Amino acid sequence: MRLKRYASYEEYASIQSQWSVRKRSYVWAQADVLIAVANHIKALNIHAPFGICHGVRNGFEVSFLHDALKEIDATVIGTEISEVAKESPFTIQWDFHKVKPEWIGKVDFIYSNSFDHSYDPETCLKNWMSCISPKGMCFLEWTNTHNADGVGEADCFRAALDEYISLAEGFHVQDEIIHGQRNKINGTKSTHIIMISHPDRKTI
């Protein structure tokens, strides 16, 4: 596990915001992964669930899940630390390490592929899990790139799959590989969805 240290919180927030603005048109989330997440959310059997996508930049995943979950009347919002949030109708400008009081125990699903942008992943995940409702689920996306050598200026947290999972100690964890593909540059790239719920929830 590798973690970049910033001189101050202000430096972290400034760097994250700058990179979000620069990459505002870039979409990391993939349709097949989001479809799998949507199917798992439907399987939770929660009527009109409320969900949050954290660290969404241009809000692609928010809009995708909003459309994919219309049949169950889901409400989906996104969080984004930069001013780019203002460009997406369902996204608020917000640091995903923080929790609104009205979210505690009331969020039926959280999805994020931006956990590698956390300056304090242990606290971040605990805060997210404090929001999850008794029947809810947190979905973390992990790929080989999240375990790349070294940390970046904005991608400040690098960890192996088992290290991601170890951060969820005390909760019930499931891991599903969505797809693996082979390319000449990076070898096999696997996308995993780590599903985290309260210990008393054994299945989804």
Q: What are 97's two structure tokens?
A: 């390490």
Residue 203: inside a domain, yes or no?
no
34 backbone dihedrals φ, ψ, rounded to 5°: -65, -35
C-alpha to C-alpha distance for 111 and 56, rounded to whole angstroms: 10
Residue with more model confidence, 22 or 78: 78
CB 154 within 8 Å of CB 19: yes
Residue with more model confidence, 170 or 90: 90
pTM, full prediction = 0.91
Residue 179: inside a domain, yes or no?
yes
Question: pLDDT confidence of 204, banded at 50, 70, 90?
Answer: very low
Look at residue 169 in the predicted model and tell me its pLDDT: 86
Look at residue 189 in the predicted model and tell me its pLDDT: 63
Q: What are 70's two structure tokens?
A: 């219309």
User: Alpha-carbon dihedral of residues 52, 85, 83, 132, nearest 10 degrees?
Assistant: 0
Residue 89: inside a domain, yes or no?
yes
Residue 183 in this model has a pLDDT that exceeds 60: no
Range of the domain at 153: 2-197
Residue 182 in this model has a pLDDT that exceeds 80: no
Question: pLDDT confidence of 178, banded at 50, 70, 90?
Answer: confident
Residue 147: inside a domain, yes or no?
yes
Residue with more model confidence, 81 or 29: 81
We report the CATH number of the domain holding residue 185 as 3.40.50.150
Question: What residues does 75 pair with on adjacent strands?
Answer: 50
CA distance between the termini of the chain: 29
Task: Please compute Rg for the chain using Cα positions.
Answer: 16
Q: Which amino acid is it at 193?
A: I
* Residue with tokens 């009205």, as numbered in its chain: 102
CB 63 within 8 Å of CB 56: no
Q: What domain count does the chain have?
A: 1
Look at residue 83 in the predicted model and tell me its pLDDT: 93
How much is the average pLDDT of 188-202? 78
Look at residue 149 in the predicted model and tell me its pLDDT: 76
Look at residue 12 in the predicted model and tell me its pLDDT: 96
Residue 185 in this model has a pLDDT that exceeds 50: no
Question: pLDDT confidence of 18, banded at 50, 70, 90?
Answer: very high
pLDDT (tens digit, 9 = 90+) per residue, 42-86?
A: 999 999 999 999 999 889 999 999 999 999 999 999 999 999 999
Residue 99 in this model has a pLDDT that exceeds 80: yes
Residue 75: inside a domain, yes or no?
yes
Residue 69: inside a domain, yes or no?
yes
Residue 4 in this model has a pLDDT that exceeds 70: yes
CA 101, 102, 106 angle in degrees (round to 5)?
Answer: 120
Angle between helices 31-43 and 60-68 (to 10 degrees): 50
C-alpha to C-alpha distance for 112 and 168, rounded to whole angstroms: 15
Q: What are 78's two structure tokens?
A: 């996104």
Residue 202: inside a domain, yes or no?
no
Look at residue 179 in the predicted model and tell me its pLDDT: 66
Residue 150: inside a domain, yes or no?
yes
